[in-house]
Structure 1
Amino acid sequence: MRAFITGIDGFTGRHLVEFLKKKGIRVTGVDLETTRYNRLNLTDREKLFEVLKKTKPDYIFHLASPILRSDRLIDDNLAKNLEVDLFGTVNLLQAASNLTKKPRVLIAGTAAVYKPEEKKPFKENAGLEPATAYGLSKLTQELVCLSLAKSYRLPLIITRSILLIGPHQSPGFVVNDFCRFVAECEAGKEKPVLKTGNLSIKRDFTDVRDGVKAYLSLIKKGKAGEVYNVCSGRVYSIGEVVDWLKKNSLKPFRVLASKKKLRANDPKVITADNTKLRQATGWRPEVSFEESLKDTLNYWRNEIKAR
């Protein structure tokens, strides 16, 4: 079996590559920053068609998406997000539809498409009304994908994740940033003061290694044209993340509330229902929240030590 991954050198892509190879699946893909695979922007239609025709994948995992987040629905990031989420995705699906053997396609989406006021945990049939440009771009992607997949007769599945965490994540995500702070504090490279926003908000955290297992299970067993929440179903507050880090840090640090860290319209709780995923595939989260934190912290300790 052959798999093609967009965003292959990103946070989730790296973990997916490692997992697929363990399963004996041959892997290739594209990324804007890669030095190991095809460096390609999905808006380059001609080159994308050429790469896919040569690869002839059985599975396509579409992970590529700009990490351009904001608290507003309409801002300068919307057009940049749509460049890949919409136009790049259209190119990808058209290229896939031209292959002799139609591959199964998984679109990695987000729970940011849900209406924040909807009853939680979100179910897949909950109201859709994104509150941010990122969520709006991803919802547009979903609608286009479902329509084109039907037209092209492509077996396509969409996932909605909340927060994937674990080693190798990019800056700008709370667990990753806090773990990096602690590692730098331990190494004497950061003052022992952690500036935080609202510590009471709660999120459904899922280890990325569980996430990629769900992706493979869904691309194999999921029903084409359906949407599945990918989440642990376990909710923790940001304060609990900080408490764990304080207990496990090699050097003490204090916590300072900062108005600059507060985000407008930040929902108090974000969690989703993973029943549909579990019933379709038998998937269960295996990595504990504490193990995710430990591995992320140790990743940053090793990174900083190697510098």
Structure 2
Amino acid sequence: MTVATAQPANSPQNSLAANGRRQSFFEDFGIWKEAPVFIGTTKFEPLPDVKNIMITGGAGFIACWLVRHLTLTYPHAYNIVSFDKLDYCASLNNTRALNDKRNFTFHQGDITNPSEVVDCLERYNIDTVFHFAAQSHVDLSFGNSYGFTHTNVYGTHVLLESAKKVGIKRFIHISTDEVYGEVKDEDDDLLETSILAPTNPYAASKAAAEMLVHSYQKSFKLPVIIVRSNNVYGPHQYPEKIIPKFTCLLNRNQPVVLHGDGSPTRRYLFAGDAADAFDTILHRGQLGQIYNVGSYDEISNISLCSKLLTEMALVPAAVPGDDDFRKWVKYTHDRPFNDHRYAVDGTKLRNLGWEQKTSFADGLRITVEWYRRFGERWWGDISKVLSPFPVVDGYEVHSDKEPITDLPQPTVDAEVQVSKKRKVEASNGQAHA
């Protein structure tokens, strides 16, 4: 990861924001001028047939890292167009540091609107598309599944048809490791050829989008690459996801709330390493291929809480079950279904020369520091999204009213529930005997 330090801004707007002025998501209060400008570390010989790159969802989390990285790393080779609807989880603050760069343009548009997509592709003579834009928060997909299908499936279809119409030379589709479904502890890491078996509406919509991408490759010879990544974390992530949400809560001296018993694990990749992966795939990836972006850092949700408590110096050595831990970590019911773990094999990408450079300890330290400094002011008032199961209605975020307890909650996996029930019944039978 490379950091280009931005100049501080001492504007009255900043003072107003710090003193509690009500903010909207998209107003510019100058906070971005105080923040470091993060990019990746890779740099390749520019491709002669790539000039104008459109990045959908460019004001969102993962995509904004690539927008900054390509804009600043290849200032004389590539023109970068950030195409974004500016949904609730996006912010122009994520790319405002690029506004004075001649090779950067922001274009507001909706991927589900064919005329807006084609207009952008034609206006900027786009030859390469990175398609990140998607609804991605799994929790929301259980209550708003139609919206996920509309954006993730129909939106991808619109982009593919538009790309076919204008003759795009590269279409790099960003998917997720969740399309593979749950991976058991004893199973091997999954290869790109593994069967897709999504278990929630979000993952299903991403798998469906992949099927469309594949069909356009076969039917129309569209030059595509599909990328399936682990969980990405780091500065600029909207605080509906676990690491920024829990960091912001703890920074407010409020306890965090785990879903279920906190046992599910995820593999985490720092956003700078993810930007390097996408840069590597652009320059070295082969058209028609699929690439997993895999991390080695697999961490359970409850272990993540311990690491955050220690990093934020709230508990010297946070151990689940200790009194100090119970003070800061609460529980609520689990998702309707919560995959225990995902695990993908990233050897194919590593063979292109990419490597994970940021340890989880270093990445978490950078992330926590950023959220402590900027998290409360970057998006406006984030209080409502910090609840365990926030509800999104258009651009509005509402808090939930879910019960919170001091005790881990049972998993909603049916097999596990039956097993636990039988154990309890057997135990009760022995007690009565």
TM-score range, shorter chain: 0.7 to 0.9
Partners of 2:367 and 2:297 lie apart in 1 by: 18
2: distance between equivalents of 1:184 and 1:31?
Answer: 31
- Which of 332, 353, 371 is 1:259 aligned to? 332
2:101 pairs with 1:28:
no
Contact 1:200 1:238 in 2 (8 A): yes
Are 1:60 and 2:129 an aligned pair? yes
1:83-107 superposed Cα distances (whole Å, 9 cap, x missing partner): 122222122122222335x321111
In the other structure, the counterpart of 2:298 is: 235
Identity %: 25
Could you list the per-position Cα deviations for residues 92-141 of structure 1 after superposition, in whole angstroms to 9, with x for gaps in the alignment?
A: 122222335x3211111011111325634222222211110001111110
Consecutive unaligned residues in structure 1, runs of 5 or more: 186-190
TM-score calculated relative to the size of structure 2: 0.64
Residue ranges of structure 2 left out of the alignment (5+ in a row): 1-50, 97-105, 316-323, 381-433
Distance 2:376 2:244 in 1: 17
SS of corresponding position for 2:303? helix
Deviations 1:236-280 (A, max 9, x none): 2223322222222244563334133x334323332211011112x
1:143-173 deviation digits (Å, cap 9, x = unpaired): 1111112323221111111210101111221
* One-letter amino acid of the structure 2 residue matched with residue 237 of structure 1: S
- Equivalenced residue count is 296
Larger Rg: 2
Aligned mate of 1:219, from 282, 291, 308: 282
Q: 1:241 to 1:89 in 2, by over 3 A?
A: same
Partner of 2:161: 94
Tell me the CA shift for residue 32 of structure 1.
1.0
Instruction: Quote the residue 2:57 is aligned against.
Output: 7
Which of the residues 346, 361, 366 maps onto 1:274? 346
> Is 1:152 equivalent to 2:220 in the alignment?
yes
Aligned residue for 1:65, secondary structure, equals coil
Counterpart of 1:285, as a letter, is Q
TM superposition score normalised by structure 1: 0.88
The 8 Å contact of residues 113 and 136 in structure 1, kept in 2 or not, is answered as yes
* In structure 2, distance between residues paired with 1:54 and 1:304: 35
Tell me what 1:283 maps to: 354
Q: In the superposition, relative to structure 1, how do residues 236 and 65 fare at CA in structure 2: closer, same or farther (>3 Å)?
A: same
Matched, 1:111 2:155: no
* 3-state SS in 1 of match to 2:252: helix
Q: Once the 2 structures are TM-superposed, how far is the Cα of residue 71 of structure 1 from its aligned partner? A: 8.9
- In structure 2, the residue matched to 1:188 is none
C-alpha spacing 1:49/1:177, structure 2 compared with 1 (3 Å):
same
Contact 1:59 1:219 in 2 (8 A): no
Distance in 1 of aligned mates of 2:301 and 2:183: 20
Return structure 1 stretches of 4+ with deviation > 6 angstroms: none
Shift of 1:43: 1.6
Q: Distance in 1 between the 2:121 and 2:273 partners?
A: 27
Q: Secondary structure at the match of 1:84?
A: helix
State the one-letter code of the partner of 1:59. Answer: T
Q: Which residue of 1 aligns with 2:320?
A: none
Amino acid across the alignment from 1:103: K
